Amino acid sequence: MNSIILLKNAEIFAPTSLGRQDLVIAGRTIAAIGEDFNLASSNLPVTVLDCTDYYLTPGFVDSLVHFIGGGGEGGFATRTPEMQLTDATLAGVTTAIGVLGTDATTRTLTNLLAKAHALEIEGISTYCHTGSYEIPCRTLTGSITDDLILIDKFIGVGEIAISDHRSSQPTTDELRKVAAAARVGGMLAGKGGVVSVHVGAGERILQPLYQAVSGTELRVKQFYPTHMNRNRRVFEAGIEFTKKGGVIDFTTSTTAYDLRHGEVAAAAALAEALYLGVSAMQLTLSSDGNASLPLYNDDGELQGLQVGQVQSLYQSFREAVVQHQVPLANALTSVTAAPAAILGLKQKGQISAGLDADVLLIRREDMQLDTVIAKGRMLVQRGAALCRSTFEPEN
Ligand code: ZN
């Protein structure tokens, strides 16, 4: 199925601007970038696309997705469904990192891994974190370090919950041990070995992470806190964290209720953090796709649950550019180069010869997603999915 694709005259953002160039994909790889490539005289089976009206960008890296669903906080009937291939591809996501969540009893790492393999076969690139919200961590081998070294798809741990009523209320020592195991496992396996941290609405915010690092050789960069746009206080704690060298993640799935009650929209959070001088490489957006989003009325009573959408990642990226005037290269960095670097995914998140051919074409006139190529395969064209999960309904 993979062949040679020549993308002509695209305005390339790698995510930094490379100007107008041609790009050749051969098999699963970006083979070359340059000017006036001409394969017309060859008899190679080449697909040629005129990209004059498009930005060509890296495929998005979504650092937090509940592949097999999550939730359950309102009982069994509130467990959320699995994601499907087009949830990712129609959002421009060509690399996704799967996690468990609150529930590591009825949701398991074996099931998560199986789903990651399914999505990989269906067309995108997938990785997972071992563990879940709780410490002691659920693992496959009995050890975080062993999981990272022995299981290809595991690249980190988490999302470990802190400052949240749903967390296991981990002690400082417990957090230290998890970070140390992730660090050593990551080093020995040549992986990122990051600890993804779910930050709740509790008063302590990032205090548990500072306490874990204090008096040790650990650095704050070992931790990758998410939901840092949950409210104004959490956002400001996140900015402080970046000043100490940390990286932070903003969640794009949200509800109107949350936005009315203090959540900072991810696009606005990104714009403000950049305005405050934080480096784009310290800021990421992730979807929290297929998580449960509790829906309350204005009296704070639970009215039901919505499900987080991977699609929100693209919407927030577009909102950052169109409504908040975030420079395209910076907005792209938060969904491509930054998460890839933080997670240690060297073949992902950039446009460069020799890297995986994960490429998007975005219409210049309205910033709508037109084409998605993942590992050299065209999965979306003219905004429509060409491939679906095996049992995904047509709609
Ligand atoms: Zn979370």
Condensed to tens digits (0 to 9), the pLDDT of residues 93-129 reads 999 999 999 999 999 999 999 999 999 999 999 999 9
CA distance 117 to 374: 15
327 sits in the region (left: phi over 0; alpha: psi -120 to 50; else beta) called: beta
Q: Which residue type occupies 51?
A: C
Domains 4-57+350-385 and 59-343 share a fold: no
Q: Does the structure show a pLDDT above 90 at 72?
A: no
Question: In the CATH scheme, what architecture does the domain 59-343 have?
Answer: Alpha-Beta Barrel (3.20)
DSSP 3-state of 230: coil
Per-residue b or e along 252-289, where b marks 16 or more CB atoms closer than 10 Å to that residue's CB: bbbbebbeeeebbbbbbbbbbbbeeebebebbbbbbbb
For residue 99, how far is its CA from the centre of ligand 1 (angstroms)? Answer: 9
- pLDDT tens for residues 209-254? 999 999 999 999 999 999 999 999 999 999 999 999 999 999 999 9
Residue 299 in this model has a pLDDT that exceeds 80: no
Gap from CA of 195 to ligand 1 centroid (Å): 13
What's the gap in Å between 229 CA and the centre of ligand 1?
A: 12
Whether pLDDT at 38 is above 60: yes
- Domain locations along the chain: 4-57+350-385, 59-343
- 322 Cα–ligand 1 center, Å: 27
* Residue in 288, 356, 358, 370 annotated catalytic: 288
Residue 299 among the catalytic residues: no
pLDDT of residue 2: 53
For residue 213, the CA-to-ligand 1 centroid distance in Å is 21
**Domain covering 4-57+350-385, topology:** Urease, subunit C; domain 1 (2.30.40)
Share of the chain above pLDDT 70, in %: 98
Global pTM value: 0.96
